[in-house]
């Protein structure tokens, strides 16, 4: 039986883990170790980086991995790039499980930007109250603007990440009603988010639409060419082909 490496950390990866476990597949679920207590999975787990491309090649060989599924987040670009390179070097088939980017509806007020820096520039110069729902990495640049920031983080930061901020600790997936209440409670005037796609992070966009609030949406990084599908079923079909060596 082919041993599968599942690069996880997203809602879709967790759904795939359940399908693999239910099918009795020999698979290992991989976390980066970014959060203190990641959600348990129904598969054996490994936590932490591999040590770059070379480390991943060594892992694939040592663990006799026969197929890799990259179900990491669209913004986990380094991991995805490493997976493409390492799988090519090790001759291991790779498939990406990726959700489509969000697309604005009629009554959405979205500004698309291509980086954290342009997201900062897109915020007003006069004081505002900004729901900065991009996690813990990449926050420093927002100190350049005189806003009050609402931050939602998975783990408590050692120190306040920005001079004028409120930190809420929560692990998604999130619900629109909860995000609407959060934004009303904090009198939010703007939202900044990554175009992560998927259902787990969409709640704040649905809430922003209901409240008529502007959203600054950061485009996802470009990834190298690779085979990509959008559903667990397609990954399972691809794996059964890979197992038959076709
Ligand atoms: C460590 C595993 C599952 C996976 C759930 C998804 C949904 C909930 C929404 C907001 C936005 C954000 C953030 C977010 C969401 C899901 C998914 C998703 C966004 C966990 C998890 C890990 C991480 C890492 C973490 C990042 C941060 C990003 C918070 C677990 C909970 C903002 C991305 O403290 C830190 O350093 C956090 C870092 C990378 C982005 C950042 O740059 O800070 N995710 N998130 C994974 C690992 O170690 O490999 O702890 O259980 C997983 C999930 N987070 O099993 O159902 O699939 O997107 N995660 C973003 O989308 O903008 C929150 O608040 O609305
Ligand atoms: P990244 O910047 O693309 O990766 C940085 C390094 O972290 C990688 O080179 C690799 O280290 C390690 N790494 C990343 N994902 C890994 C995984 N699943 N298993 C083992 N090592 C991993 O990654 P990131 O954006 O920090 O994301 C880290 C994790 O959080 C991923 O699992 C991702 O799916 C999840 N996540 C990220 C976001 C986001 O907004 N970025 C949102 C939700 C969930 P080595 O080079 O040492 O191998």
Tell me, in angstroms, the distance from the centre of ligand 1 to residue 200's CA. 9
Query: Which ligand 2 atom sits closest to the C-alpha of 80?
Result: 3
Do strands 3-7 and 27-31 pair parallel, antiparallel, or not at all (unpaired)? parallel
- Confidence bin at 1 (pLDDT 50/70/90): confident
**Looking at beta carbons, which pairs linking 230-234 to residues 24 or more positions away fall under 8 Å?**
230/97, 230/98, 230/99, 230/100, 231/97, 232/12, 232/15, 232/16, 232/19, 232/97
Question: Would you say the CB of residue 161 lies under 6 angstroms from ligand 1?
Answer: no
- The pLDDT mean for the chain works out to 96
Residue nearest to atom 59 of ligand 1 (CA): 135
- State mean pLDDT over 9-17: 97
Task: Determine the pLDDT at residue 246.
Answer: 58
157-178 pLDDT, tens digit per residue, is 999 999 999 999 999 999 999 9
- State mean pLDDT over 199-219: 96
Tell me, in angstroms, the distance from the centre of ligand 2 to residue 154's CA. 15
- State mean pLDDT over 186-192: 98
Residue nearest to atom 53 of ligand 1 (CA): 10
Domains identified in the chain and CATH numbers = 3-100+223-244 (3.40.50.720), 110-218 (3.40.50.720)
Helix axes 203-211, 176-185, angle to 10 degrees: 60
| Model pTM score | 0.97
CA 173 vs CA 23, 102, 153, 184: distances in Å: 25, 16, 13, 19
Cβ neighbours of residue 55 closer than 8 Å, sequence gap 6 or more: 49
Question: Would you say the CB of residue 204 lies under 6 angstroms from ligand 1?
Answer: yes
Q: What are phi and psi of 177, to 5 degrees?
A: -60, -40
Choose one of 28, 72, 152, 196 to mutate for the ligand 2 pocket test, by most ligand atoms within 8 angstroms of C-beta: 72
Task: Determine the pLDDT at residue 54.
Answer: 98
26-66 pLDDT, tens digit per residue, is 999 999 999 999 999 999 999 999 999 999 999 999 999 99
Residue nearest to atom 39 of ligand 2 (CA): 75
Choose one of 100, 172, 205, 230 to mutate for the ligand 1 pocket test, by most ligand atoms within 8 angstroms of C-beta: 172
- State mean pLDDT over 194-210: 95
Tell me, in angstroms, the distance from the centre of ligand 2 to residue 32's CA. 5
Task: Determine the pLDDT at residue 210.
Answer: 97
- State mean pLDDT over 75-89: 98
Whether 132 has a pLDDT exceeding 90, the answer reads yes
Query: Which ligand 2 atom sits closest to the C-alpha of 7?
Result: 18
Alpha carbon distance 133, 188 (integer Å)? 12
């Amino acid at each position: 039986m082919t041993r599968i490496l599942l690069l996880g950390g997203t809602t879709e990866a967790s759904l795939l883990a359940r399908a693999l476990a239910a099918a009795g597949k020999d698979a290992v679920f991989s976390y980066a170790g970014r959060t203190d207590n990641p959600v348990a999975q129904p598969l054996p787990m490994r936590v932490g980086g591999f040590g770059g491309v070379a480390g991943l090649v060594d892992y694939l060989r040592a663990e006799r991995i026969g197929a890799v599924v990259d179900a990491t987040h669209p913004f986990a670009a380094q991991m995805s790039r490493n997976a493409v390179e390492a799988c090519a070097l090790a001759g291991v088939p790779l498939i990406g499980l990726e959700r489509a980017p969000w697309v604005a509806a009629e009554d959405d007020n979205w500004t698309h930007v291509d980086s954290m820096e342009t997201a900062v520039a897109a915020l007003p110069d006069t004081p505002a109250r900004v729901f900065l729902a991009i996690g813990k990495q990449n926050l420093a640049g927002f100190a350049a603007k005189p806003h009050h920031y609402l931050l939602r983080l998975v783990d408590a930061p050692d120190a306040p990440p920005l001079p004028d901020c409120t930190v809420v600790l929560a692990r998604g997936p999130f619900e629109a009603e909860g995000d609407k209440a959060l934004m009303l409670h904090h009198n939010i005037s703007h939202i900044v988010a990554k175009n992560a796609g998927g259902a787990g992070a969409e709640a704040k966009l649905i809430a922003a639409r209901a409240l008529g609030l502007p959203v600054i949406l950061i485009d996802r990084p470009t990834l190298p060419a690779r085979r990509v599908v959008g559903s667990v079923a397609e990954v399972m079909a691809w794996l059964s082909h890979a197992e038959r060596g076709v």
